[in-house]
């Protein structure tokens, strides 16, 4: 009787271990949940949904063999403070990583750079508390705001990236800003071709972000 019971327990433990291994395998191979969290540059103002940054980024990553789902959590007009206010419900449970693209509207409104810095800092802290990997997509202040404003605003992103050991893409509009051929009539929002350039240039940084997620999964 004792021997029979021992064999039964052993079989149960083996089965449990096998199920645990399957569960771990499923978790390891599920698609990475990536959220693009930002303003109109993320939302894709003036573009069809399929031409917005998150959709084109997902397509580019999948073409490279990544199993990733990229969600669009961009809201046109958002400042850093607006993003912070909606952070908790905009980033769903189960999110693995977030690209934070905020700050352009702060500069357009001439808001105090200290507000952008403190808001971005809080966004990073909250995401880190949820064990979400973070990448900062930086912004530069328009030069017509003056050298003093730029000197306060521009270092925000590299400073935070260094403090929290984040992946940083220094300027989200690199290669696109001020080029009339790559921007819509307002001169501020990229065309579909402009988004293609953004995706191509930001891709190595996003791959570094995904590598951090994969390393965490083990």
Cα(148)–Cα(4) distance, integer angstroms: 81
pLDDT value at residue 217: 87
* CB 157 within 8 Å of CB 168: yes
Q: Which of 20, 39, 40, 106 is catalytic?
A: 40
pLDDT of 55-86, one tens digit each? 999 999 999 999 999 999 999 999 999 999 99
Q: Tell me, yes or no, if 189 is annotated catalytic.
A: yes
Spell out the per-residue pLDDT of the chain, length 218, in tens.
445 444 444 444 434 444 444 344 445 689 999 999 999 999 999 999 999 999 999 999 999 999 999 999 999 999 999 999 999 999 999 999 999 999 999 999 999 999 999 999 999 999 999 999 999 999 999 999 999 999 999 999 999 999 999 999 999 999 999 999 999 999 999 999 999 999 999 999 999 999 999 999 87
Q: Tell me, yes or no, if 96 is annotated catalytic.
A: no
3-state per-residue secondary structure call for the chain: CHHHHHHHHHHHHHHHHHHHHHHHHHHHHCCEEEEEEECHHHHCCCCCHHHCHHHHHHHHHHHCCCCEEEEEEECCCCCHHHHHHHHHHHCCCCCCEEEEECCHHHHHCCCCHHHHHHHHHHHHHHHHHCCCEEEEECCCCCHHHCHHHHHHHCCHHHHHHHHHCCEEECCCCCCCCCCHHHECCCCCCECHHHHHHHHHHHHHHHHHHHHHHHHHHC
Number of C-beta neighbours around residue 171 at 10 A: 16
Q: Tell me, yes or no, if 186 is annotated catalytic.
A: yes
Residue 77 main-chain phi, psi, to 5 deg: 90, -10
Cα(32)–Cα(213) distance, integer angstroms: 8
Cα(217)–Cα(31) distance, integer angstroms: 12
pLDDT of 121-136, one tens digit each? 999 999 999 999 999 9
Q: What is this structure's pTM? A: 0.87
């Amino acid at each position: 009787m004792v021997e029979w019971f021992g064999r039964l327990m052993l079989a149960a433990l083996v089965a449990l271990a096998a199920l645990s291994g399957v569960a771990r395998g499923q978790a390891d191979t599920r698609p990475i949940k990536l959220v693009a969290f930002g303003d109109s540059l993320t939302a894709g103002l003036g573009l069809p949904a399929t031409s917005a940054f998150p959709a084109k980024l997902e397509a580019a990553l999948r073409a490279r063999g990544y199993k990733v789902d990229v969600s669009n959590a961009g809201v046109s007009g958002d400042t850093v403070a607006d993003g912070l206010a909606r952070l908790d419900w905009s980033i769903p449970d189960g999110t693995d990583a977030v690209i934070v693209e905020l700050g352009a509207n702060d500069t357009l409104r001439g808001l105090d750079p200290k507000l952008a810095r403190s808001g971005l800092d809080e966004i990073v802290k909250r995401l880190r508390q949820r064990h979400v990997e973070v990448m900062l997509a930086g912004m530069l202040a328009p030069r017509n705001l003056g050298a003093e404003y730029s000197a306060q605003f521009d270092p925000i992103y590299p400073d935070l990236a260094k403090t929290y050991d984040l992946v940083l893409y220094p300027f989200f509009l690199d290669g696109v800003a001020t080029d009339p051929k790559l921007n819509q009539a307002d001169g501020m929002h990229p065309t579909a071709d402009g988004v293609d350039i953004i995706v191509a240039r930001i891709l190595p940084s996003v791959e570094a972000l995904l590598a951090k997620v994969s390393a965490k999964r083990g």
